[in-house]
Structure 1
Amino acid sequence: MSIGTESAKEPLPSTPLRLVTLEVEAHVGADGWDQPARLYALVPTADLVEAEPSLAERLATQLENHPDGFTSIEQELPSDRHLEELLAGITWPETVAGCAAVVERLMLPPEAEDDLPDDPDALVEAVAAHPDRREVRLVAAVTRDGSRHSAVRAREPEDAPLLEGPDLVPGLLDHLFRTLS
């Protein structure tokens, strides 16, 4: 599995989707590594406060700083199924404007992919044994209007920079978007 690359040198705009993606990444990152997949509904904060006035005080600062922002709401996932399998059966209600997922994966450099076996079991073994494998945390977020943002952080080195952009993990982004249509 490889990730797309972002060639832009300019800073990314601070859109509501980018901000919630970075918030989710920081939240999950604070819990460390070796976590199961996590899934979040993204709800416009203003809509959430309107529907649940009891949350107004807790979300006041967020709403004031980003009136068009999103609040992420973590969903419980069964531990016995892969995220991609779960996503195939998920549809969100109209009140959910988007969704985000976080997964940890092993990744290889693109040049290593040509030599990988086709058999799924052999593929897992080959990736796990490959000397150039890297453990990464992938965060992908999409909205109903098709906006996308993603972030990737390597486990090593400990201070690995966060890579981000609208299309770093296109496959996961596509899976998420299908849950919104």
Structure 2
Amino acid sequence: MTADLHAEVILSRCVREVAEFVDAEGWGNPPQMFALVPTADLVAAEPSLIDQLDEGNELTPIAQESFPEDVTGGSMALDEFLATTTWPDAVQGCVLVQEIVVLPPDAESTLDDALAPLLADHDAADAAARAAAEAHPERREARLFAAVLRAGTSLALLQVRPEDDADEFGDLDLRTYPNLAPNVIDALHHTFESDPLD
């Protein structure tokens, strides 16, 4: 197995573990960040955790503290917050989970109509786009999992919320699409730079 493929497998396992954790919490939660830390380092630092960790996984996701109220409350954009975030050397990657709204491809004209008069005002255009997405009759709720490793590997997956409540705790259906969440992935990569504002 090549080094690149090995990194992809490690990152996929971490995202799957995070997805299972957040899925058990149900829907309607704020964004959450997970640090990916070498499992061997965790066991060395806290031997009592050995029974709770899968030593077969090289990295273990560690849930971080909730985002500040100004991020979850909306006065600061998530990308602005990430621009001020850095990780210590021990953290080898991270996973960001956020609930989003997905629309069918033909919904673009609805968004264009809502945004056209507001393009000069970024905040107003963003608010209008969100309102139009929320009001769209074919909107679906989803979770976006965006993950990166310090070495450069990245992965973005989408979990669409089942329409039938009975399916909410069924098997996880994680999907990827071409060019899914490139700006989020880029923002996460910047959190591993020595100075994310450079």
Query: TM-score with structure 1 length normalisation?
Result: 0.80
- Alpha-carbon offset, residue 48 of structure 1: 1.9
Q: Against the structure 1 CA distance between its residues 167 and 24, is the aligned structure 2 distance closer, same or farther, given a 3 Å change threshold?
A: farther
Q: CA RMSD in A?
A: 2.3
Greater fraction of residues in helix: 2
- In 1, the alpha carbon distance for the partners of 2:15 and 2:147 equals 6
Q: Is the 8 A contact 1:17 1:149 kept in 2?
A: yes
**SS of the residue aligned with 2:52?**
helix
Which residues of 2 match residues 38-53 of structure 1 at below 5 A?
38-53=32-47
- In 2, the alpha carbon distance for the partners of 1:38 and 1:97 equals 17
Which amino acid in the other structure matches residue 64 of structure 2? Q
- In 2, the alpha carbon distance for the partners of 1:151 and 1:32 equals 17
- In 1, the alpha carbon distance for the partners of 2:46 and 2:178 equals 31
Segments of structure 1 that go 5 or more residues without pairing to the other structure are: 1-12
Larger RCO: 1 or 2 (CA < 8 Å, sep 6+): 1
Which amino acid in the other structure matches residue 71 of structure 1? T
The number of residues matched between the two structures is 164
- In 1, the alpha carbon distance for the partners of 2:151 and 2:38 equals 13
- Alpha-carbon offset, residue 165 of structure 1: 6.9
Which residues of 2 match residues 7-156 of structure 1 at below 5 A?
15-59=9-53, 62-63=54-55, 65-66=56-57, 69-76=58-65, 77-81=67-71, 82-116=77-111, 117=115, 118=119, 119-156=125-162
Runs of 4+ displaced beyond 4 Å: none
Give percent identity, aligned residues only: 43
Greater fraction of residues in strand: 1
Segments of structure 2 that go 5 or more residues without pairing to the other structure are: 1-6, 72-76, 120-124, 194-198
